[in-house]
Structure 1
């Protein structure tokens, strides 16, 4: 393996780190980018009716910011944006966001798409990393900065007469590969153009466009920027983590500790390459720590069904919190601990959830306990005792559970597969009660 062709990611030196001592005590602002970033990653992008069903589901879940389109790049996106506005399909407490490249004709087209919007976020971006500046665009640092400044000036000019609430957002796209001093300078220049106030804030979004470092280094970069941005009290700091290293959720969590107030991501992490931040995973993580996630996670199976239908992608059965097997235990030791934990939880009427191997109560997402314990040749007495107790209401003694457990293991070995609860109950009822 030619590992020497890769170089380590540059760390942030001489930084006063406050984020390791912080805690997430409230949910950030969530912005779903499913209909833009997620959609552009699909083999078959969504049509307008599919987008509308997806949009309505996001609204029902509680998303207050939804990036709905890249209107200058697609007639479908432009038409969908117009439909949402003209047909009054956006609730008053929801802002729709569009992505805008830093090019005059595309800015103009994007603004046309948002005419009449009640609450609109105009998300301007241009690539800023050194390689793209030098090789892709063949422009100097000053020219790249002028591109951002002049584009934001033009965007502000075109939206001055808008009657609705207008919020400006700027992303130094490829922030994750951009030198911090350059990223800071260009962001501050754009902030000075918008001149936000505490009553009319703007958003600075720092994308982990290509995830290339550990989550702690990303947090260092976010904290470094957060402490140096102009008019910080008038700026909402946002992050947009991708998942190329498989750590986008951790990157988002640590970024929030480091000062991020908004996170952009998608349902179940759909997105280009290895995907985007899984907002569902993030929200469940803070929910399991006793923090209000500000999203209705109880309807997640309904959301999952919609997602799989529209995207033609399948949520993995081991997907955190939502996979079909996420609450399932086959191991005998795990099953025994779960049974005893559930028995104690019910008997003592516990107010706090603390059942081994179950990060949350399955009932919180409208699932029962019938799939928590499944039995195969790896299972033991705890699993069979749970099934007899849960579905027949009979409690086995320790000796009975051991004996019946051996019988079930033997049967599972014979058929070389998992036994259903119906098969286990039938085996129990036909065995002269052990």
Structure 2
């Protein structure tokens, strides 16, 4: 048994006056990407300068207006990268470059050297404030920890006087979630007073869940408590930087937004130390799925994945929200059936509002295709097979036929022991229904309609077990007449057509039609379907008759 007694619950803020549970997310926060700093430092093989440039350009394309590019005072590659952005004029005037530095004079001096020539900069200073780190890492009391933050603020303020661009200060009490709330407020207030409105830009207080230590509601309580106790609240931007140690980074972020957070720092797909930062794409897509503009250009997730995986040398998990290869995929038969019916209902209603079971958003809206929405294996059902045949190949199988063909595909899956891709499904359909020529093979048909009645006259050429047959007959329609013509040559045929469906397969001058024939063998009682395809609807229906005859003969 796990030795759970080694662990104790983390303290919970007593905050019964919380208001965030009654609120809703109504607009997107300011997004700050930390892919090039927090995300990059967590890579097995950190990005080189060229990869950093490619990632930076992707972030610009996605619409990030604040991008933390690294720790230029502590890393030569990050210093060189920043200078490359400056020298090659790669930073748009409406984008703020964020740089991280500890509260030490030599590091702040080097940081300002690195940012020279950038128009808009966020200088991000931090020091750890948690009870645990004060005791076991720094061996400092509260007053000494506050002095570090205040001294760092003063250094930035002094260096800013000779800087030609715009500086905005960001301060993070690192390990905020492990810090007593009164001390977190005390140190932020001390920084705020030292800054003393040094310029017209609001100070950013970034309250990171450096380590997730409790449930998301506790983080929301902490954020709301700070939100309500900041001095000069209108001069503060409340930012959050959630990590994902407990696997609840997205939930913690969304609840923190309810609690008053205005800004979110995170990474694409949640890369970062340990279990990662919050995945800003998931949070943004969640907003999008609720009809909220995320203010990010995230319509093509495949492009984002491609660049992310190339630069970070990390893969996006197959079940990762929105980005995973299988997240818009249903293997379950009941899920497939519901998706199939939902899409059909949407098309019939002509509604602009997306409402399809098991698909919270339209995959096409973020650059995904319909083809992989339903994937067929031994657990799939008739709805999934019908969905593939309809959305990928245009065959709208009658409801009564869907189970028959699904059984064919299920046997293939069980025999192969895995997934049956759409191409294999279509090949099975051709083999079972369209290409069978034994024992009956349709050849030619001539139809003459009577001017005096509804009867038609047919001249039919076909083969039966390889032997050439010719027959002439009359009936109350082409199918009835062909049925009689066949029986005149093959007396063993005793069939009844139960149902008939048809639809166009394509549009234009070369359009084809598909005809579905449900047929019963009167001698055995067996019922099956046949399918015919032709640009001539009469020929399509007769091919369907022959298709059904061959299936009955099996």
TM-score range, shorter chain: over 0.9
Shift of 1:83: 1.7
Question: Cα deviations across residues 22-60 of structure 1 (Å, max 9, x unaligned)?
Answer: 111110000000000011001111111110000000000
Match of 1:359 in 2: 360
Provide the alpha-carbon RMSD of the alignment: 1.3
Q: Specify the SS of the correspondent of 1:319.
A: coil
Q: Shift in Å at residue 220 of structure 1?
A: 0.1
Secondary structure in structure 2 of the residue aligned to 1:205: strand
Is 1:248–2:241 an aligned residue pair?
no
Instruction: State the 1:393 CA deviation.
Output: 2.2
Contact 1:133 1:139 in 2 (8 A): yes
For 1:121 and 1:164, how far apart are their aligned partners in 2?
11
In the other structure, the counterpart of 2:45 is 44
Question: How far is 1:252 from its partner?
Answer: 0.6
> 1:193-223 deviations in whole A, cap 9, x for unaligned?
1123894211000000011110000000000
Distance of 2:309 and 2:279 partners within structure 1: 15
| 1:267 alignment partner in structure 2 | 268
In 1, are the aligned partners of 2:328 and 2:373 still within 8 Å (CA)? Answer: yes
Structure 2 residue aligned with 1:301? 302
Query: In structure 2, how many angstroms separate the alpha carbons of the residues matched to 1:334 and 1:328?
Result: 9
- Residue number in structure 2 paired with 1:223: 224
Aligned partner of residue 300 in structure 2, secondary structure? helix
Match of 2:174? Answer: 173
Q: How does 1:66-81 map to 2 (within 5 A)?
A: 66-81=67-82
Correspondence for 1:32: 33
CA distance in 2, matches of 1:14, 1:252: 19
Distance 1:197 1:78, change over 3 A: closer
TM-score by length of 2: 0.77
Deviations 1:293-320 (A, max 9, x none): 1111112211110010111100001110
Contact 1:61 1:299 (C-alpha < 8 Å) held by counterparts = no
What corresponds to 1:345 in structure 2? 346
Three-state SS of the structure 1 residue aligned to 2:316 is coil
Aligned to 1:103: 104
What CA distance in whole angstroms lies between the structure 1 residues aligned with 2:198 and 2:338? 55
1: distance between equivalents of 2:279 and 2:350?
Answer: 33
| Structure with larger RCO (C-alpha < 8 A, sep 6+) | 1
2:190 paired with 1:189:
yes
Which ranges in structure 2 are unaligned for 5 or more consecutive residues?
434-529, 531-547, 549-554
Q: Spell out the pairing of 1:394-409 with structure 2 (5 A cutoff).
A: 394-409=395-410
**Matching of residue 384 in structure 1 with residue 398 in structure 2:** no
Shift of 1:136: 1.4
The equivalent residue for 2:542 is: none
1:90 aligns with 2:91: yes
Alpha-carbon contact 1:118-1:164 (below 8 Å) kept: yes
Partners of 1:95 and 1:410 lie apart in 2 by 58
Most deviating of 253-262 and 98-107:
98-107
User: What are the superposed Cα offsets for residues 141-169 of structure 1, whole Å, 9 maximum, x if unpaired?
Assistant: 11111111011011110111222221000
Q: 2:5 is matched with which residue?
A: 4
Question: For the residues of structure 1 that align with 2:415 and 2:133, how far apart are their CA atoms?
Answer: 62
Distance in 2 of aligned mates of 1:393 and 1:142: 72
Cα distance in 2 for partners of 1:319, 1:176 equals 26
The whole-number CA distance in structure 1 between the counterparts of 2:334 and 2:79 is: 56
Counterpart CA distance in 1 for 2:342 and 2:406 is 19
- State how far apart, in whole Å, the 1-side matches of 2:163 and 2:174 are: 26
SS at match of 1:63: coil
| Partner Cα separation in structure 1 for residue 124 and residue 325 of structure 2 | 36
Whichever structure has more strand as a proportion of its residues is: 2
In 1: Cα distance, 2:16 partner to 2:105 partner: 38
Find the residue that maps to 1:76 and give its secondary structure: helix
CA contact (8 A) 1:198 1:233 kept: no
Determine the C-alpha separation between the residues in 2 that align with 1:198 and 1:398: 70
- Once the two structures are TM-superposed, the CA of residue 265 in structure 1 deviates from its matched residue by 0.3
CA contact (8 A) 1:72 1:110 kept: yes
Q: Scaled by the length of structure 1, what TM-score is found? A: 0.98
Show structure 1 runs of 5+ residues with no match: none
Q: Cα–Cα, structure 1 residues 3 and 171, in superposed 2: closer, same or farther, change >3 Å? A: same
Comparing 367-376 and 197-206, the one that deviates more: 197-206
CA shift at 1:368, angstroms?
1.9
Deviation at 1:347, TM superposition (A): 1.6
Are the aligned partners of 2:157 and 2:198 in contact in 1 as well (CA < 8 Å)? Answer: no
Question: Offset at 1:87?
Answer: 2.1
Of 391-400 and 264-273, more deviation after overlay is shown by: 391-400
Corresponding pairs, count: 434
**SS of 2:356 mapped into structure 1:** coil
